[in-house]
């Protein structure tokens, strides 16, 4: 997954070394590493397509997602209902198309909340050290010691159902990872000469943190955020599967799997198809994350 | 080393203390009254205020929050986990009934994922570029995308409904009927282990590939060391450092997975109990379960930190 380019050493081309190495801009290099591999590109394509599906859901879905049609309930897949209908006669395909909205909104906004909060906390903990560091990091340890699903369950029960509350519940559960990552990076970066010299020049703590330290920690953070979006979508699916969180009739893929589970013997497509949608979106974000990691890996500098 | 372990133990205690405070407050802040849920269940809505007060005293709910917390802690030190409001029995009885089920399934999933995940990752890295590596890596990439509860449903559909090989759900203790018990836990354990196996395979593989490029591996080759020695002592040992780090996370993850899997397969473990207890606002049960889970995660992390020293002598415990 990492550094494929390094793992298969090419025969050395002497002619290449006789001249000055061509100068590539960093951005160009990253793009060429990224698109040089099939999987990240596939991941990016999947996500772009799913975002388009989510935006244009009303145009793409053959039926309104919550339109009940009791006489036509539990239809097997047919030309009218490609993936059949559920126990209330709602079109499964339309609900899957609309479900992409729920997953994307939750995945992206949870990571936005948790990475911003986590980054600030991690930055503060590592930069100031001492008691502040210990207080923040012990809290993060405590968050990590909860199974995330149980924590989200507690917070979601506390706040009640609804999209925003689920976002907060999962957001709290996801703070620890970006916080620890940020903390680790800052601890190693803050000893570097350029940080010391910036401080010697009298830069304020706040400016130093955001202008000098944060940009250096950004690449690993970006990779982590991308991959965590997949994890959040899986966790949200788990919560909706347990029936906690997003209130019906809003279409959620996890909730659809749960509904379909009751009819698994006669209508397997009801439970199976939303799961495939979950897999697809998580696969997309994971591959994008892997691709970004390789593209942002400074060790690959000069290789391509 | 000893002082390091003592310091880490102290940190672990602090972490567990924070967990207990968080869970204690969260569960008590939930809207609603656990007694109402208990009374609805037992059809005793027509209670006078005095009788209600009696019940509150019985469950220790009449005291202030700090006093309730102190009661809980004092009880724990005496080995008393309190009284379940919903089930109206000692939480210890509930725990001794449900805990072994989750621990048994979770421990199996944990061991399987550790062994298979690391083995697959090492094999992939050593055979990189071959069809075997491509196949296993692809499967691992797919494995980390599958929701565990959904895999459970698919397995039930294929292995139970269609093929009729395995019972759909339920759990039987292995001491009762080992064969039947094994047949029933195959699917749940597979679901619990799937994500950890796949993610450990990915992690081990990429970590191995990093290490293989290191200068000290080239030095080992040029010294003329045997391949087996280079792989086992130099490559794997170093590649395992980042892998070991995630073991604590893995423990928490398997516990979280048991919440879902136990409800798919109708297994009465603490995962399912936790979901029900949160919904029933069964204070003492939620507290006991999170406390036990947190202690295990903290212990796992402690073991991880100590094992670093063996894997990487550069790490000094100061």
- Report yes or no on A19 lying in a domain: no
Number of domains chain B is built from: 2
The CATH number linked to B143 is: 1.10.3720.10
**Residue A163, exposed/middle/buried by CB under 10 A (0-12, 13-18, 19+)?**
middle
B164 & B280 share domain: yes
pLDDT over 50 (residue A2): no
**Residue A270 in domain:** yes
Same domain assignment for residues B209 and B120:
yes
Is residue A70 in some structural domain? Answer: no
Say yes or no: B111 and B18 in one domain.
no
Is B93 inside any structural domain? no
What angle (nearest 5°) sits at the alpha carbon of residue A79, between those of residues A78 and A81? 60
Which chain B residues are closer than 8 Å to A237 by Cβ?
147, 149-150
- Answer yes or no: is B131 within a domain: yes
This prediction has a pTM of 0.86
Task: Supply the range of the domain harboring residue B26.
Answer: 2-77
Percent of chain A with pLDDT over 90: 24
Lowest-confidence region among A210-219, A276-285, B118-127: A210-219
Please check whether residues B156 and B289 belong to one and the same domain: yes
pLDDT at A54: 93
Find chain B residues with C-beta within 8 A of A283's C-beta: 141-142, 145
CB contact (8 A) between residue B23 and residue A241:
no
Mean pLDDT score, B64-89: 83
> So what's the pLDDT on residue B43?
62
- For chain B, give percent helix, strand, coil, nearest 5: 75, 0, 25
CA distances for B138 relative to A83, A295, B126, B128, angstroms: 27, 20, 16, 13
Between A1, A144, A264, which is nearest B156 by CB? A264
Phi-psi region of B172 (alpha: psi -120 to 50; beta: other; left: phi over 0): beta
Residue B55 shares a structural domain with residue B143: no
Residue A91 has phi, psi (to 5 degrees) of -75, 120
- ipTM associated with this complex: 0.86
**Which residue segment(s) compose the domain that A291 sits in?**
37-57+87-297
Q: Which two three-digit tokens encode residue A55?
A: 């935006």
Whole-number pLDDT of residue A265: 84
Task: Confirm whether A13 is domain-assigned.
Answer: no
Domain CATH code at residue A267: 1.10.3720.10
Of B77, B111, B136, the residue that ends a domain is B77
Same domain, B23 and B162: no
DSSP letters spanning chain A: ---HHHHSPPPP-HHHHHSPPPP--HHHHHHHHHHTSHHHHHHHHHHHHHHHHHHTHHHH-SS-TT---GGGTTPPS-SSSTT-B-TT--BHHHHHHHHHHHHHHHHHHHHHHHHHHHHHHHHHHHHH-HHHHHHHHHHHHHHHHS-HHHHHHHHHHHH-SSHHHHHHHHHHHTSHHHHHHHHHHHHHHTTSHHHHHHHHTT--HHHIIIIIIHHHHHHHHHHHHHHHHHHHHHHHHHHHHTT-SSPTTS--HHHHHHHHHTTTTT-HHHHHHHHHHHHHHHHHHHHHHHHHHHHH-GGGTTT-
Whole-number pLDDT of residue A144: 85
- What's the pLDDT at A3? 47
Confidence check: pLDDT of B1 > 80: no
> Are B55 and B112 found together in one domain?
no
Number of domains in chain A: 1
Backbone angles phi, psi at A251, to 5 degrees: -75, 120
Q: How far apart are CA A213 and CA A215, in angstroms?
A: 6
Structure tokens of B15?
A: 């972490």
Q: Are residues B245 and B140 in the same domain?
A: yes
Place of tokens 């659809």: A256
Q: How far apart are CA A206 and CA A144, in angstroms?
A: 28
Say yes or no: B292 contacts chain A, CB-CB below 8 A.
Answer: no
Q: Does B73 share its domain with B144?
A: no
A248 or A113, which is more confident: A113
Which of A 102-161 lie inside 8 A of B, CB atoms? Answer: 138-139, 141-142, 144-150, 153-155, 157-158, 160
Residue B278 in domain:
yes
Let me know whether B47 and B118 are in one domain: no
Minimum-distance CB partner of A264 among B128, B157, B298: B157
- Evaluate whether residue A65 is within a structural domain: no
Cβ contacts of A2 on chain B, cutoff 8 Å: 206, 209-210
Burial class of residue A231 in the structure, from the number of CB atoms within 10 Å of its CB (0-12 exposed, 13-18 middle, 19+ buried): buried
**A147's tokens:** 């199974």
In a domain, B90, yes or no: no
pLDDT at position B102 over 80 = yes
Domain membership of residue A75 (yes or no) is no
Contacts of B206 in chain A (CB under 8 A): 1-2
Of the candidates B150, B212, B286, which has its C-beta nearest A257's C-beta?
Answer: B150
Same-domain pairing of B306 and B194: yes
Structural domain contains residue A32:
no
Whether B191 maps to a domain, the answer reads yes
A78 found inside a domain: no
- Enumerate the residues of chain B whose CB falls inside 8 A of the CB of residue A6: 213
- The token pair at A61 is 């879905």
Tell the burial category of B97 from Cβ atoms under 10 Å away from its Cβ (0-12, 13-18, 19+): middle
pLDDT tens for A197-213 read 887 888 787 787 777 77
Cα–chain-centroid distance for residue A280? 13
Beta-carbon contacts below 8 Å between A and B: 160
Residues B201 and B248 reside in one and the same domain: yes
Q: What is the pLDDT of residues B5-22, one digit of tens each?
A: 888 888 889 999 998 998
Residue B169 lies in a domain: yes
The CA distance from A203 to the nearest CA of chain B, in Å, is: 32
Distance from C-alpha of A110 to C-alpha of A108, rounded to nearest angstrom: 6
| Residues 6 or more apart in contact with residue A174 via CB below 8 angstroms | A110, A111, A114, A115, A118, A148, A228, A231, A232
Instruction: Compare A101 and A244 and report the one with higher pLDDT.
Output: A101
């Amino acid at each position: 997954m990492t550094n494929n380019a390094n793992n298969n050493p090419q025969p050395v081309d002497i002619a290449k070394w006789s001249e000055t190495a061509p100068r590539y801009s960093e951005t160009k290099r990253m793009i060429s590493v990224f698109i040089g591999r099939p999987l990240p590109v596939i991941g990016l394509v999947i996500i772009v397509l799913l975002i388009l599906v989510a935006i244009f859901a009303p145009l793409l879905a053959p039926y309104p997602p919550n339109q009940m049609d009791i006489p036509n309930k539990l239809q097997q897949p047919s030309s009218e209902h490609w993936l059949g209908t559920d126990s209330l006669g709602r079109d499964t395909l339309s609900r899957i198309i609309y479900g992409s909205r729920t997953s994307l909104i939750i995945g992206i906004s949870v990571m936005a909340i948790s990475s911003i909060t986590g980054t600030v906390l991690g930055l503060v903990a590592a930069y100031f050290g001492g008691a502040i560091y210990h207080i923040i990091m012990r809290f993060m340890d405590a968050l990590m010691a909860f199974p995330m699903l149980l924590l989200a369950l507690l917070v979601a029960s506390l706040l009640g159902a609804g999209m925003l509350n689920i976002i907060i519940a999962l957001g709290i559960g996801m703070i620890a990872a970006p916080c620890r990552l940020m903390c680790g990076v800052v601890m190693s970066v803050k000893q570097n000469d350029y940080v010391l010299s910036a401080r010697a020049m009298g830069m304020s703590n706040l400016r130093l943190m955001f202008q000098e330290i944060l940009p250096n920690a950004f690449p690993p953070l970006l990779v982590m955020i991308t991959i965590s979006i997949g994890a959040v979508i899986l966790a949200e699916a788990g919560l909706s599967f347990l029936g906690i969180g997003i209130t019906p009739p809003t279409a959620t893929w996890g909730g659809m799997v749960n509904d379909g589970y009751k009819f698994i013997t006669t209508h397997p497509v009801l439970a199976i198809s939303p799961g495939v949608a979950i897999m697809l979106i998580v696969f997309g974000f994971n591959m994008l994350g892997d691709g970004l990691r390789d593209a942002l890996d400074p060790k690959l500098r000069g290789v391509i | 080393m000893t002082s390091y372990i003592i310091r880490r133990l102290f940190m672990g205690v602090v972490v567990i203390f924070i967990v207990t405070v968080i869970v204690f407050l969260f569960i008590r802040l939930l809207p609603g009254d656990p007694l109402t849920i208990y009374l609805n269940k037992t059809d005793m809505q027509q209670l006078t205020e005095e009788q209600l007060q009696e019940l509150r005293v019985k469950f220790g709910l009449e005291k202030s929050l700090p006093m309730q917390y102190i009661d809980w802690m004092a009880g724990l030190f005496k080995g008393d986990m309190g009284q379940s409001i919903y089930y109206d029995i000692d939480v210890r009885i509930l725990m001794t009934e449900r805990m072994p089920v989750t621990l048994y399934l979770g421990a199996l999933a944990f061991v399987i994922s550790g062994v298979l995940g690391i083995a697959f990752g090492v094999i992939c890295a050593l055979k990189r570029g071959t069809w075997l590596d491509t196949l296993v890596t692809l499967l691992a990439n797919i494995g980390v995308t599958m929701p565990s509860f959904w895999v459970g449903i698919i397995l039930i559909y294929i292995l139970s409904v269609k093929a009729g090989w395995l019972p759909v759900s339920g759990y039987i203790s292995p001491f009762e009927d080992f064969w039947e018990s094994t047949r029933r836990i195959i699917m749940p354990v597979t679901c619990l282990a799937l994500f950890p196996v796949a993610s450990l395979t990915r992690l081990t593989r990429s970590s191995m590939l990093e290490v293989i490029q290191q200068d000290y591996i080239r030095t080992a080759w040029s010294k003329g060391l045997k391949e087996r020695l280079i792989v086992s002592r130099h490559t794997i040992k170093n590649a395992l450092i980042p892998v070991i780090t995630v073991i604590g996370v893995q423990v928490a993850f398997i516990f979280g997975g048991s919440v879902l899997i136990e409800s798919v397969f109708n297994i009465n473990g603490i995962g399912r109990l936790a979901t029900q207890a949160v919904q029933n606002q069964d204070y003492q049960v939620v507290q006991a379960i999170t406390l036990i889970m947190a202690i295990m995660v903290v212990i796992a992390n402690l073991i991880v930190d100590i094992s670093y020293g063996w894997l990487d002598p550069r790490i000094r415990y100061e």
